[in-house]
A = this chain, B = another copy of it.
Amino acid sequence: MAKAPVLTPRADDFPRWYQDLINKAELADNGPVRGTMVIRPYGYGLWERMQSEMDARIKAAGASNAYFPLFIPQAYLAREAEHVEGFAPELAVVTHGGGKELEEPVVVRPTSESIINEYFSKWVQSYRDLPLLINQWANVVRWEMRPRVFLRTTEFLWQEGHTAHATYEEARDYAAYIHKEVYGDFMVDVLGIDVVLGRKTPGERFAGAVNTLTLEAMTGDGKALQMGTSHELGQNFAKAFHTQYLSKDGGQEFVWQTSWGSSTRMLGGLIMTHGDDNGLRVPPRLAPVQAVVLAIKGEEAVLAEARAIGERLTAAGIRVHVDDRTDTPFGRRAVDWELKGVPVRVEIGPRDLESGTAVLARRIPGGKEPVALASLARLIPGILEEDQALLLTQSRERRESRTADVSTVEAAVEAAGAGGWARIPWALLGAAGEAGLAEHAVTVRCLVAEDGSVPDRDDAPGNVAVVARAY
């Protein structure tokens, strides 16, 4: 009789597989308030690595971290008409504080454009104060009707960047820089996800933006997931909040702004892109644990060698965990690390010790082989590089093989229904075609130029719409 699978197979029920994986790999639990989540230590360890890699790129882009309040007066949101219209249905409202009803209810931030502009308008006086480049790591709340852990939660963690510039061109270029060199670089290079970079159609823009740039990943079931967005806000918030500066010529000018965000949703993207029927597969550059050394038995010589291997691998620059919980059966621990997607397992027991070897198990391509103890620290760095590249290749191959070029709305709907993406010339589709797709729960994920680059306007000739069902 075949062993029962640890997870619901992806082919049977992809959303169920996703939820199983999150539970069994101990990534997260549902919170007590509907739509909230508890991020467990292993899941949070992945998020900490994401933060660390992303934060370094954000700082390299010249931005500084700061922190703005969780509570925003309702009136602030209302100052930008599209913004409040977009967010009003999702707000959480605090009506009581310190045992009393508040004179003015406050909202829990769904995003911080409004409160940040209130301060930008004080801090920016002259052209010397520009560009002002701020980022914040924070929690935000958007009341969620159809929650799904990591992908759509009532509370989530994110970074939100907010910048003010002297000219339209500077703001446009900065939004594009964050899109490509911060988000694109991180997602391709660290997450190993072959995201498509494109431009949102007017109907899919952020509430209050004049242009939204997006990064879209293809999930294991051929849907799309928005992994991050970078917005040009034009002067919309500047005008609403009177964020003006004294120019070199002595005139008062409104600033040009951007905002950009990426969130714990990326954890969902990571799982849905790289996970397989045995669990998660974590790209080595991201992995909080790149190699786990498992002592098979609790004999002192085995434990000592496991720890010695751990030290040698650490010295070789590898992030290592030594699993010496030998009061838990070895098989259960091996399955657990498989579920958690640690790229390399080094398994060592009494017989290995005798032969001077350990078993090296690779999670990403799969497979096991004995390796001389003395070779481990030399071999593993190369294996991790290979695995990193392999995940990106698999992600690219999936996207390429499951994307169809089509020329009618019907064909696009069919492709999306069959678990894939479609590409259709935007000139053929247009806003009317976009509305037609929506009837089938298919959306334009983004527009890309003929050569695959990000178009600088919606209606540039040759623009292609990438359409799919989305999470």
Contact = CB atoms under 8 A, between A and B. Distances in A.
Which residue among A93, A105, A128, A138 has the maximum number of chain B CB atoms within 10 Å of its CB?
A93
Contacts of A308: none
A38 B64 contact: no
Chain A interface mostly? mixed
Given A73-B33, A93-B94, A94-B94, A68 B108 contact: no
B128 A69 contact: no
Interface in A131-154: 134, 138-139, 141, 143-145, 154
A89 B94 CA distance: 15
Contacts of A71: 31, 33, 36, 92, 141, 154-155
A94 B155 CA distance: 13
Interface stretch (A96-104, A349-357, A360-368): A96-104
Interface stretch (A41-49, A405-413, A424-432): A41-49
A95 B95 contact: yes
Nearest to A33: B71
Contact of A96 (B31, B66, B92): B92
B98 A155 contact: no
A325 interface: yes
A470 B44 CA distance: 37
A52 to B, nearest CB: 10
B119 A29 contact: yes
B69 A37 contact: yes
Interface in A71-95: 71-73, 76, 88-95
A320 interface: no
10 contacts: A31-B69, A33-B69, A38-B67, A38-B68, A38-B69, A40-B66, A45-B64, A91-B96, A92-B98, A139-B139
